[in-house]
Every structure is written in C-alpha cells, then in structure tokens.
Structure 1
C-alpha cells in the first residue's frame, strides 16, 4: 500500500520472492526485530555473482552469508526495517549517515522512532554544523515538541536525541513531490551559539527542555 505523508511518498519494499531472503542487520551483523532499523541485505538464489569487471566493489558488497554457510549475501546500502505485518519498509541510504560527537548516526532510524509515536503525522531529521559542532534537528508534525522529546528519550540512547524539535504545519517538497530537506527552515536560536554540548542523559534532557520552554529559544545545552 502506498502512503503519502505531507507530500512525501513512502512505499514498502514488500516481502522476499521465493528463493530469496532479506535480512535487516545492525552494524554487528545481528538480525533486527520488527520496527528497528538496520541495513538491508539480500541473499538466496537470485543474488548475482558480483559486479562485472569490478572485483574490489564485488568484494565490498557481496559478503559471506553468516546464516547459510557457503552462500553469499548482497549488502544493499539501504536502511530499512520490518513492519509488524511482515513487510520491509525503506527508510533511506546508509551513506546518509552523519557523525555527531564521535557517534555514527543514521537519521532515518531516528525518523522511524519518531513516527512510531502516536499522532505523529510526519518527521524528518537533519544534521547541521555550526561553529565546528554538529547537532541533530528533528522536524515534526502532529504533536508538541516537548511531548515528542519525552517519549523519544525512552526509545533512543542519549547520543541519538535531536538537539531541537521544530514543529511543522507545511513541508517543503521538490517538483517530484519528495521532501526537500535542503529547504527545511533553519532552527531558531543557533546563530549566537558559540559552543554547544548536547544533553547526555534523561535528566539533562528534561532540564534543557524546561529552559527552552522558558526562553522560547533553543537548543539549550
């Protein structure tokens, strides 16, 4: 089923065809449960032998299948997750990863966690670098930012928490109808920030959220 959210189309990949296997794995090669994002791998009889005349790329992408000895699987570079009804949903590319405070983070994984919050209609997460510091920013529609921050804190580790949540009523889209991330509004209050340290635990997140509410500005570090 095709879903359109605020001008962006989301289309589940579906289920593997007979003879094929789909794995959603984390960076350590562990199978991810339904609802948890990871990198998508394809295995089975339909997997090609490799890239024509590209031995280095073949070695990089065609790996030994750890679940079926003697067979190989293809590393797609796509970030996906299993849905509760057994479909695979595409979330983005792994080359969209960003590095924040030493951690490699996939924004699509944060977006997926936000969308699982009740009443959220759409979400987007971007990384911006100012004054030499990179921070995550979440754009949301459907819930108040404080509510989303509190619920997300229970779902994600502290290093994956966005520095600021921006509430949206309309989303910029490209001529093809996709979300135009480059046109998302710049977060408020960042121009005068000389140094920023993101909250490191739930207590600091709650304190920062309180100060942002009082000051009507953010992000507060």
Structure 2
C-alpha cells in the first residue's frame, strides 16, 4: 500500500469539533465530540511519555476510532512524518527504512499481523508499540519475548468518552505487569475513607473528556465502569468491570444483553454467557454455554443465528446440563473449565 497523508476523520461541528461514534454492539451508537486542542494535547502527552522520537508510524487502528485518529493521523501530521495505514491493507509489506524509529499503533488483532511483518521491522533502529481498545492477546506477549530489546510496548487504558487515562508497560509472557499509572492531567473521584485493597469504581476528571451529543459541554466527571484497587495516589490495579461490559476487538458487548437475547430467541435452552481473557486474536472474548430443556433441541447454528448482530463468541459449548452452585445459580468456575469441541471454536 502506498503512504497516505494523515487526515482527520469524522464530522466537524461547532468550534471545529471532531465526531466519534462509540461502537455499541446493540442499539444505536452514541456520538461524542472532541476539540482539536484536546486531540493535540493527548498526542503530545502520550507521545512524550511513551513513544519518544518517531520517524514513521505504522497503524493498525482505523481512524474512525479515537485511538486510530490520534496516532494514525494527528501524530503524523503534527510531527510531519510518514504514516502507513496498515489497517487498510493488512498483508502489504511494511515500508520501513533502515535505522528508522517506528511507532506501531495496535489493537488486538494487529499483533498477529505485526508478527508476520516482523522481518520488515527488523531493519528499524527501534519499534515502540502502543496498544489499546482491549486486553492484549498472547501473541503480543510472545512477540515481545522474541523481539526485545528492539521492540517495546505500552498499554493505554481509556475510551472514546475519556481519552487515555493511564498506561503501563506491556511485558513478555511470564512477567507480571505493574500497576496502571495515570496520565498527569487525569484525576480521580474517590469515596473518602475507602480502605486499601478494596475495589472501587474508577471515576475520573480531566480536560480531555469528550462532549456527549446531548450535552452542551463535557461532563465534570466520568464513571468508567472499571473496578480498580488503588496502589498509590495515582496508580491502580484493574480488577474487573462493575457490570457485564467487555470489549471484543474494541466492540462493546454487554453480556447481560447476550443472555437476554438468547433467553428470548432460544426458550428451549438454558444459556449462560461468560467473559474470557486471552483470546489469541481479539484480546477479550466471551463464551456461550447452553443445555437443552426437555425434548427441545438447540444446536450451535441456532446460537450463532440468535447472536447474529453481536461480535461472535470465542467459544460455544453444549452441555447435558448447566452446572449449578449450592444456591442454584450457574457455576461459573465449573463452566469455564468445560472444554469446547474444535467445531465450536470461532
């Protein structure tokens, strides 16, 4: 693919605002608006803290998403450097010149492509990868183990609504990741007197919060839906989500809605959707377990058809019955231990 000029996607509105749509998997997408100075500030902040000097950008993140726009368009334009839009032609050779300092902009499925294209990156003097939108897949950790020290990587925690909130180094397999470190302009809203080691919802303030389409200005604070344990004034461990929300390749999936859909369309089966970590391509994922009721027969094709407008589950497992806890609830630990047949994998 030939080099493309960095440009801003989205619809400009008042004061030059840039529009981004959240990727809801069910229901209408929501629109969020950012000002140019917010985009510039984020590029400068994250670029200085994590990327350092860069001669070329290789981006696997499409520019209609905030992460792709920031580092696949705004950074190359501000730094006046070439950008290779690898998301548009993923298998094209990477145009890296000897000695260049390369920034790779990664979403989960990019890591397998980065592994395939690594011979073209070995001529660079350094490669820094920024990863966002969902948990990194095992391929990311494996490549870091093989390609260090030429390759180093950082995870960015954030969203369309908030921009980047925190970062941590992405490490090879077997090495424990440290706590998330907040970016300097992010502050936290916390309950007074919360004891150490107790999980609390991550609520943030900052100058880079986006304006919702139904608001006249950005909110004063934003509840992210993430559960964290603070390890310091500006550091925390991510311990889960406050609800059933996960992201599959950057697409939001409410597992409660998956359960509702299956219950409505497949009354002849008992179905349970559970989150999975470490899918080799998509980062986060989810599994669907089901068991027929009485004489009713429900097959894999029925489950897939019922979830036609959701991101596909990573695993589909049919059981004779759904295991239960002593209180009669589905036993999540027992379900996650159930193997999927090869035909049930995505």
Q: State TM-score, norm by structure 2.
A: 0.28
- The structure whose Rg is larger is 2
Higher relative contact order structure (alpha carbons within 8 Å, sequence separation ≥ 6): 1
Q: State TM-score, norm by structure 1.
A: 0.41
